[in-house]
A = this chain, B = another copy of it.
Amino acid sequence: MPKTVQKTNAGRFFEDYSIGQVIHHAVPRTVGTGERAMYHALYPARHALYSSDAFAQSCGLSESPLDDLVAFHVVFGKTVPDVSLNARANLGYAEGKWLKPIWSGDTLRARSEVIGLKQNSNGQTGVVWVRSRGLNQRDETVLEYVRWVMVKKRDPASDAPETVVPDLANVLDPADLVVPEGLDFTRYDNTLAGEPHRLGDYSVGETIDHVDGVTIEEAEHMMATRLWQNTSKTHFDGTMREDGSRLIYGGHVISMARTLSFNGLANAQMIVGLNAGSHANPCFSGDTVRAWSEVLDTAATTAPGVGAIRLRLVATKGGAPFTLKDDSGKYLPHVLLDLDYWALMPV
């Protein structure tokens, strides 16, 4: 074989995707109590169900699962070499569903199906929609979500594919949320969980300033992003920007905001649905991340004592809480993240 064969992965370009294409992502990953400890070191994670085997058992589970966002990050990380290595922007998320908890010792792998394609009018880039699934070692789907990214074309002169824009739900119907088997909040202990506020104590439209802030360091976001085997150069290589700083993985901001939201939403225990999400502005080392939430909806589930709460979670790097967009509908410059999700909460 000649020397000139390219052995490294240059990533896919817009032309490399086709509707219905299924991509099996590489490098399955076994996760366990080591990843759990790292998650607690990297984020101010305090939700009791993910902190304590004893608490999880009192809620009907066999042990404490790994944080829902661990599943999200691992699956996301696996998709990066195939989906977003040449992405210009991570445009959105929809129809995210957590279907099974991740237990210590589980091995996750991921695959994605291309469900939408639309070349941009500039001819330089296109939008690719994929539905990504995480599977465990028993071939059970543990998580699925749609994300769409803007990807460079290899050759601006190449033909545009037929435009297919998938029809995605704006919000998951609460009836479609999957409650983990056995989950039972009838003996839920507010004191151990950290707050007295249950589903009935939150009203639609209510806003909560989560008060605390965390100043971000390069070492931390890189360790987090590496832990999920996310290979995007931009998070690790300080030579890509004049100032040596690295663009922070959007998922780092998601986990930071979600864990900061413990203070005011300690009982929003498990994330079960991701309705939408925007990485409104980039985050860099030195930024101090804060979070606020807005209650968008509440719903019942069929599991004993378990309700669902739909929340907007906003991460900021300054600015007043509860400010989001300017008059033209553009995110304010201090807004990092606008996430819309469903969580399970005791009624």
A26 partner residues in chain B, CB cutoff 8 A: 46, 48, 191-195, 266
Q: Which residue of B lies closest to A246 (CB)?
A: B215
Taking the nearest CB of chain B, how far is it from the CB of A54, in angstroms? 4
Q: Does A30 contact B (CB under 8 A)?
A: yes
Listed residue (A81, A194, A286) with the most chain B CB atoms within 10 angstroms of its CB: A194
Bound state CA distance, A223 and B54, in angstroms? 24
Q: Which of B1, B24, B107 contacts A202 (CB 8 A)?
A: B1
With known contacts A37-B35, A208-B8, A217-B222, A28–B1 Cβ distance under 8 A: no
| A7 and B197 contacting across the interface, CB-CB below 8 Å | yes
Chain B residues closer than 8 Å to A237, beta-carbon distance? 212-215, 288
Q: Any chain B CB within 8 A of the CB of A201? A: yes
- A37 CB contacts on chain B under 8 angstroms: 31-32, 34-35, 37-38, 227
Closest B residue to A205 by beta carbon equals: B3
Shortest CB-to-CB span from A144 to chain B, Å, is 19
Most chain B CB inside 10 Å of its own CB: which residue of A30, A107, A224: A30
Write out the residue numbers on chain B whose beta carbons fall within 8 Å of the beta carbon of A231.
Answer: 44, 46, 212, 263
User: Chain A, interface size: which category?
Assistant: 35 or more
Pick from B28, B45, B46, B209: contact of A48, CB under 8 Å: B28
Answer yes or no: A203 CB below 8 A from chain B CBs: yes
Partner of A288, one of B206, B218, B239: B239
Interface check A43, CB cutoff 8 A: yes
Q: How far is the CA of A220 from the CA of B105 in the complex (A)?
A: 26
Tell me the A244-294 residues at the B interface (CB within 8 Å): 244, 246, 263-266, 286, 288
For A293, give the chain B residue with the smallest CB separation. Answer: B7
Partner of A41, one of B64, B105, B226: B226
Give, as a whole number of angstroms, the nearest-CB distance from A258 to chain B: 14
Central interface residue in A5, A33, A212, by most chain B CB within 10 Å: A33
A214-244 contacts to B, CB under 8 A, are: 214-215, 217-220, 222-224, 226-227, 229, 231, 233, 236-239, 244
Query: Is B43 a contact partner of A226 (Cβ separation < 8 A)?
Result: yes
| Contact pick for A34, options B28, B36, B200, B215, CB 8 Å | B36
Chain B contacts of A214 at CB under 8 A?
A: 222, 236-237
CA distance A26 to B41 in the complex (A): 18
Chosen A-B contacts, 23 in total, with CB atoms closer than 8 Å, are A3-B203, A7-B195, A24-B191, A26-B192, A30-B54, A33-B33, A33-B34, A35-B37, A37-B227, A38-B38, A42-B226, A44-B236, A45-B226, A46-B231, A53-B107, A54-B109, A109-B192, A212-B231, A212-B233, A215-B237, A217-B217, A217-B219, A219-B220
Q: A52-B109, A218-B219 are in contact. List 10 more A-B contacts (CB 8 A).
A: A1-B200, A5-B201, A7-B195, A27-B52, A41-B224, A81-B194, A212-B237, A215-B236, A215-B239, A220-B222
